Amino acid sequence: MKPHALITGGQQGIGFGIAQSLAAAGWQITLAAEQPQDCARVRAALAQLPAGSRYFAHDLRQISAVPALLARIEADLPLTSLIANAGVPALQRGDLLELRPESFDRCHEVNLRGTFFLAQAVARTMLRHPGPGYRSLIFITSVSAEMASPERAEYCISKAGASMMAKNFALRLAAEGIGVFELRPGIIATPMTEGVHQRYEARIREGLVPAGRWGQPADIGKTVLPLVEGRMGFATGSSFAVDGGLSIPRL
């Protein structure tokens, strides 16, 4: 039986990099995001993944839709891993003192509340129907879970909350043999960072990222693979910075 991963936001960026990495290792891939199935980006993603890869339109804010979503996803093959990757940025970067409630609420509804209740439902399903292999929950947060950016405070706060969410799931599920991990990407070349490309390009040249380059979605995919395969099972609850050294404190 193939291992089966549900990747939220897997149609682009980091999520798609993870999907490609797992697909190359023989995983059944299911993607979920709020975009309609017939949109160009979704069609392009599915065309680059193995035959049989699936996509379900799902808005993380619609918590009441989660049971039906999981029933459809697991109708033929139970989930082995949830990759909770989907997230939204601040509506607009700007002065912390001018932050609007709608931007704060949007970040928390998707990055924190919606992610939590999807992970909760997946964990319940895993406990009701234990499978023969290793199972895991992977939370893709950000270096912004720890590194503050006052011009997008709502995003940072939501990711800090998601980091604590991962720790709590890890404690609850460790005795059940379900591994829980947090990955904190740094500055990754994705559609989310296109609008600030010039700004970060200059700062990377100036030494912001010790590795001297942009991160790529494949960098995250390569890191996820040993975690979902159980090769680091005793490290459950750990956070991994995948950022080229960006978050290392320096003098």
pLDDT at position 68 over 90? yes
pLDDT at position 132 over 80? no
Q: How confident is the model at residue 147 (pLDDT cuts 50, 70, 90)?
A: very high
Span 220-242, pLDDT tens digits: 999 999 999 999 999 999 999 99
CATH number at residue 238: 3.40.50.720
250 within domain boundaries: no
Q: How confident is the model at residue 107 (pLDDT cuts 50, 70, 90)?
A: very high
Rg, the chain, Cα only = 17
31 within domain boundaries: yes
Q: What is the 3-state composition of the chain as percent helix, strand, coil, each rounded to the nearest 5? A: 50, 15, 35
247 within domain boundaries: no
- Minimal CA–CA distance to 46: which of 67, 68, 15, 90? 15
Q: Is the sign of the CA dihedral 243, 162, 111, 10 positive or negative?
A: positive
State mean pLDDT over 6-29. 97
| Residues spanned by the domain of 156 | 4-242
Verdict on whether the full-model pTM lies above 0.85: yes
Q: How confident is the model at residue 130 (pLDDT cuts 50, 70, 90)?
A: confident
pLDDT at position 148 over 80? yes
State mean pLDDT over 47-73. 97
249 within domain boundaries: no
Q: How confident is the model at residue 37 (pLDDT cuts 50, 70, 90)?
A: confident
12 within domain boundaries: yes
State mean pLDDT over 104-130. 97
146 within domain boundaries: yes
What's the total number of domains in the chain?
Answer: 1
What's the confidence (pLDDT) of residue 191?
A: 87
251 within domain boundaries: no
16 within domain boundaries: yes
Contacts of 88 (CB under 8 A, 6+ apart): 106, 107, 110, 111
State mean pLDDT over 177-190. 97
